[in-house]
Amino acid sequence: MQFLNNYKRIWILARFELIRLFLTKRGIIALAAFATVWFIILYYLVSSAVAIVSSDVFQDIAKQLFGVLGLTDLLKWPVPELAIYWLIAAYLFPSFALFSASDQTCSDRTRGTLRFISLRATRTEIILGRFLGQVLITAILIAVTILATVLMATYRDLTLFDDGVLQASKLFVDLSIIVLPFIAMMTLLNSFLRSSKMAIVVCTLIFGLGPFVIGLLAYKLPIASQLNYIFPGMQITELLGQTEMALTNYSLPIIQSVLFLIIANIIMKRTSL
């Protein structure tokens, strides 16, 4: 019974995050900005790129280019819109997830709101609830953009719908897993930082300087290069070609996420509110 209460509180906390994005003025403005960006991407970038990739004139150039990048298999996809979408979304959604999840507990902690909540939910529940909320938000937005891409392709060629839905379902799972460690990393940063801006700055430093520092360490101690596996998105380049289903492509982001959440929970439990 007790664990049911835990799940219930986690769900209530997650649901509150959904409301924060979809039913508040600030959230709706953010959504409008998101929709605008994706309209530009789909209308100008994806549809233009599809025209280029599909045209007989440019097909050889596209094959060469995709071949160099190890993305030849993408050209075989029945719905080229989804191939272009995938190339963009695989990098754009992690960045978006970092920004949208940058304020999971920071401002609530600074404002003192977390004090009201912590008398009604454990810190672990708060961490998991907020994380789950952000995952759901990102998943919904991924689903909407994929659906828009499929509809765009169907508008061009009605026969693409079935293949599009099938391919889109797989991409939805792939993208949702890709963003997990990025959101979890923000959960971790939020467990001790007091502002979302600072969380983004620290995140930028981690991604900007982290590989450089690890590179230096690895120069002296080769095994230190394994530290690169702590960076979310390590597997994206391999996953991008969609050539084979490597288990690490899915297990690595999940392991990273679990690790970040465990550390976030430990810090959160020790931090003063």
Partner 1 sequence: MSHIIQAKNLNKNYGHKHALSNVEFSIEKGAPVALVGPNGAGKTTLFSILCGYIKPSSGEVLIMGHPPGDKALFGKLAALPQDAQLDPRFSIAHQLKFYGQLQGFSAKKSQHEVERTLDLVGLLDVLNVKPSELSHGMRKRVTIAQTLIGSPEIVLLDEASAGLDPLHAREVREVVASLSSDITFILSSHDLNELERLCSQVLYLEQGCLKEHQTLTTPSSDKCRYFTLRMKQQEEGIIEALQQLESVSHVILTQDREFLIKAVAGHEDAGTDIDVLQLCHKNNWQYAQIFNGKTLENQLF
Q: Which parts of this chain interact with partner 1 (CB under 8 A)?
A: 2, 5, 8-9, 12-13, 16, 19-20, 24-26, 108, 111-113, 115-123, 270, 272-273
Least separation in angstroms between residue 141's CB and partner 1 is 19
Q: Give whichever of 5 and 237 is closer to partner 1, judged by the CB atom.
A: 5
Cβ atoms of 183 and 105 within 8 Å: the answer is no
Instruction: Find the helix or strand (DSSP H, E) in which 76 lies.
Output: none
Least separation in angstroms between residue 95's CB and partner 1 is 24
CA distance 85 to 128: 30
Q: Give whichever of 11 and 161 is closer to partner 1, judged by the CB atom.
A: 11
DSSP, collapsed to helix, strand or coil, labels residue 22 as helix
Minimal CA–CA distance to 265: which of 130, 123, 135, 121? 123
Q: Give whichever of 68 and 119 is closer to partner 1, judged by the CB atom.
A: 119
Least separation in angstroms between residue 227's CB and partner 1 is 32
Residues 6 or more apart from 23 whose CB is under 8 A from it?
none
Q: Give whichever of 30 and 65 is closer to partner 1, judged by the CB atom.
A: 30
Buried b vs exposed e over 14-36: b needs ≥16 C-beta within 10 Å?
beebbeebeeeeebeeeeeebee
CA distance 172 to 183: 16
* Residues comprising the chain, all counted: 273
Q: Give whichever of 30 and 92 is closer to partner 1, judged by the CB atom.
A: 30
Least separation in angstroms between residue 215's CB and partner 1 is 37
Least separation in angstroms between residue 241's CB and partner 1 is 42
Structure tokens at 42: 């789909």
Q: Give whichever of 15 and 63 is closer to partner 1, judged by the CB atom.
A: 15
Q: Give whichever of 19 and 173 is closer to partner 1, judged by the CB atom.
A: 19
Least separation in angstroms between residue 57's CB and partner 1 is 52
Cβ atoms of 239 and 90 within 8 Å: the answer is yes
Least separation in angstroms between residue 193's CB and partner 1 is 18
As a 3-state breakdown, the chain gives helix, strand, coil percent values, each rounded to 5, of: 85, 0, 15
- Cα dihedral across residues 79, 81, 84, 85: positive or negative: negative
